[in-house]
C-alpha cells in the first residue's frame, strides 16, 4: 500500500491506476478504524478496482470542540489494518490541502435538501455542512468512480447521495456510484464506532441497550415502538432523540403507517455521543 499526503502525488497514482484500466474505489474515513471500516474495504476490493482510503479528522464537522479534541487517533495501527486488508493507496491529506484559503462550503440547503434541519442536523448545527464540504473536496481530489459509506450514519449517507445527485445534474461531477455498507456490531449488537474506544467496560454494557431498544421496535406501531424502546434504554443514557422515521425524508412516520422504516437513536453514554439505527418493519395501529 502506498501512502501520500500531497494532492499532486495522489493525482499521479490515480492517473496511473486509470491508465491500467482500473476503477477508483474510495473509502473516506476519520481513522480510529474498526471492523466496520474494514468491511467497507471488502465491498470494493476486486481486481478491477484500485482501492483508495483516506484518513482526515475533519475539524469542520465537529460542532463540539471537545469531541474533536478527544476524537481517537491511531494512525500507525490504521495504516497497518488498511494495508493488510488490501487497500492500494492511503491518502493522508494535510488540512491546507483539504481547506484552501476560502473553502467552498456546501451545506444541505445548497443542494436543496431539508435533511439538515432534522435529527442530527438539529442536534449538531453545522455538522452536515462540515461533512458535505469535506466529502465533496475529497471527491474532487480522489475522483472516485465508486465511494463507500456505512449505513450507521444513515442521515449522512442520504445527504451524500443527494449531494452527488445534485452535483451530477448540474454537471459539477462525473458519474459516481455511492455504495452503502452494513453496520457491523459486536456479539451483543452494539454498533461498532470509533467513539466506542472512549467507553469503559460498564459504559459498553450501558451502550448495548441501544441496539436492544432499537431492535425491539420490530412489528409494533410507531408510537408503541418508540415509547417501549425509550423504556429499554439504560437510564444513564442521555437521549438526544429516538425516532421512527421514513428512510428517505427522515420525518417521523404516522401511527397508522405499516412498512419498512428506520428506528434512529442518538444520545450520550457518559460524555461520548453515540448514534445507531435499525431498519424495522412497523405495523400501523
Give me the least distance between CB of 22 and ligand PAF, in Å please: 22
In DSSP terms, 55 is beta-bridged to 29
Give me the least distance between CB of 128 and ligand PAF, in Å please: 9
Task: Name the strands in the sheet holding 238-245, side by side, starting at the edge strand that comes first in the sequence.
Answer: 238-245, 259-269, 272-282
Q: Is 37 a catalytic residue?
A: yes
Interface with ligand PAF includes 183 (CB under 6 A)? no
Cα angle 107, 111, 116 (rounded to 5 degrees) comes to 50
Interface with ligand PAF includes 131 (CB under 6 A)? yes
Distance CA 20, CA 87 (A): 17
Which one of the spans 14-22, 92-100, 129-137, 199-207 is the region binding ligand PAF (CB under 6 A)?
A: 129-137
Based on CB atoms, which residue is closest to ligand PAF, 136 or 221? 136
Interface with ligand PAF includes 218 (CB under 6 A)? no
Which one of the spans 28-36, 99-107, 215-223, 242-250 is the region binding ligand PAF (CB under 6 A)?
A: 28-36
Based on CB atoms, which residue is closest to ligand PAF, 150 or 252? 150
Q: Which of 4, 2, 57 is nearest to 32 (CA)?
A: 57
Based on CB atoms, which residue is closest to ligand PAF, 31 or 252? 31
Based on CB atoms, which residue is closest to ligand PAF, 100 or 171? 100
Give me the least distance between CB of 85 and ligand PAF, in Å please: 16
Question: Which member of 153, 186, 255, 279 binds ligand PAF (CB under 6 A)?
Answer: 153
Query: How far from 163 is each of 38, 131, 175, CA to CA, in Å?
Result: 25, 11, 12
Distance CA 99, CA 149 (A): 22
**Which listed residue (37, 127, 188, 234) is catalytic?**
37
Which one of the spans 25-33, 68-76, 117-125, 245-253 is the region binding ligand PAF (CB under 6 A)?
A: 25-33
Name the one residue in this structure whose C-alpha cell is 471537545.
Answer: 66
Query: What residues contact 240, with CB distance under 8 A and at least 6 apart?
Result: 123, 266, 267, 268, 273
What does the DSSP assignment read for 93-144? --HHHHS-SS-----GGGGT--GGGSTHHHHSTTHHHHHHHHHHHHHHHH--
Give me the least distance between CB of 213 and ligand PAF, in Å please: 23
Q: Which of 269, 219, 257, 222 is nearest to 243 (CA)?
A: 222
Catalytic residues: 37
> Which residues contact ligand PAF (rule: CB under 6 A)?
28-30, 58, 61, 131, 134-135, 153, 156
Amino acid at each position: 500500500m502506498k501512502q501520500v499526503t500531497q494532492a499532486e502525488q495522489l493525482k499521479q497514482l490515480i492517473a496511473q491506476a486509470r491508465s491500467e484500466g482500473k476503477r477508483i474505489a474510495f473509502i473516506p474515513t476519520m481513522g480510529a478504524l474498526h471492523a466496520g471500516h474494514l468491511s467497507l474495504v471488502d465491498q470494493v476490493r476486486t481486481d478491477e478496482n484500485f482501492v483508495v482510503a483516506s484518513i482526515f479528522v475533519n475539524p469542520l464537522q465537529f460542532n463540539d470542540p471537545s469531541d474533536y479534541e478527544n476524537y481517537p487517533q491511531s494512525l500507525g495501527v490504521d495504516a497497518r489494518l488498511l494495508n493488510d486488508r488490501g487497500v492500494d493507496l492511503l491518502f493522508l491529506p494535510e488540512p491546507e490541502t483539504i481547506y484552501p484559503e476560502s473553502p467552498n462550503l456546501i451545506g444541505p440547503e445548497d443542494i436543496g435538501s431539508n435533511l439538515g434541519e432534522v435529527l442530527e442536523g438539529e442536534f449538531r448545527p453545522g455538522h452536515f455542512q462540515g461533512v458535505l464540504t469535506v466529502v465533496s473536496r475529497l471527491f474532487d481530489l480522489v475522483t472516485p468512480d465508486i465511494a463507500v459509506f456505512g449505513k450507521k450514519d444513515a442521515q449522512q449517507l442520504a445527504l451524500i447521495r443527494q449531494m452527488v445527485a445534485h452535483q451530477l445534474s448540474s454537471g459539477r461531477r462525473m458519474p459516481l456510484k455511492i455504495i452503502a455498507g452494513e453496520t457491523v456490531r459486536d456479539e451483543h449488537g452494539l454498533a461498532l464506532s470509533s467513539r466506542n474506544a472512549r467507553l469503559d467496560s460498564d459504559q459498553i454494557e450501558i451502550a448495548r441497550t441501544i441496539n436492544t431498544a432499537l431492535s425491539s421496535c420490530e412489528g409494533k406501531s410507531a408510537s408503541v415502538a418508540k415509547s417501549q424502546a425509550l423504556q429499554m434504554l439504560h437510564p444513564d443514557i442521555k437521549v438526544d432523540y429516538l425516532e421512527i422515521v421514513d428512510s428517505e425524508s427522515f420525518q417521523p412516520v404516522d401511527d397508522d403507517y405499516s412498512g419498512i422504516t428506520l428506528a434512529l437513536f442518538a444520545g450520550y453514554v457518559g460524555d461520548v455521543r453515540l448514534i445507531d439505527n435499525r431498519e424495522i418493519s412497523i405495523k400501523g395501529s
